[in-house]
Chain A
Amino acid sequence: MNKNVKLYALSTCIHCKNTKEFLDESNAEYDCCYVDKLEGDERTRVIEEIKKLNPSLSFPTLCIGNTVIVGYKKDEIKKALES
Chain B
Amino acid sequence: MNAEQLYEQLKKFQESKGYFFNKDKKMVLALLESLLVNKKRYGHMACPCRLASGDYEQDRDIVCPCVYREADVKEYGTCFCGLYVSEDWNQETIPHEVVPERRNPAKVLAGLGM
Contacts and interface: CB of A to CB of B under 8 A. Distances in A.
A64 to B, nearest CB: 16
Contact of A17 (B30, B101, B108, B109): B30
Interface string B41-62: 0000000111110000000000
Chain B contact-residue range equals: 20 to 34
Nearest to B36: A12
Interface in A48-73: 48, 51, 55-59, 70-73
A73 B99 CA distance: 11
A57 B27 contact: no
A17 B50 CA distance: 13
B3 interface: no
B109 A12 contact: no
B114 A36 contact: no
B95 interface: no
Contacts, number: 65
A73 B38 contact: no
Contacts of B90: none
A52 to B, nearest CB: 12
Contact of A56 (B30, B48, B82, B100): B100
A47 B112 contact: yes
Interface of B: 27, 30-31, 34, 37-38, 48-52, 81-82, 98-101, 103, 105, 108-109, 112, 114
Interface of A: 10, 12-17, 35-36, 43-44, 47-48, 51, 55-59, 70-73
19 contacts: A12-B37, A12-B38, A12-B48, A14-B49, A14-B81, A15-B82, A43-B112, A44-B112, A44-B114, A47-B112, A47-B114, A48-B114, A51-B109, A55-B105, A57-B51, A57-B109, A58-B100, A58-B103, A70-B100
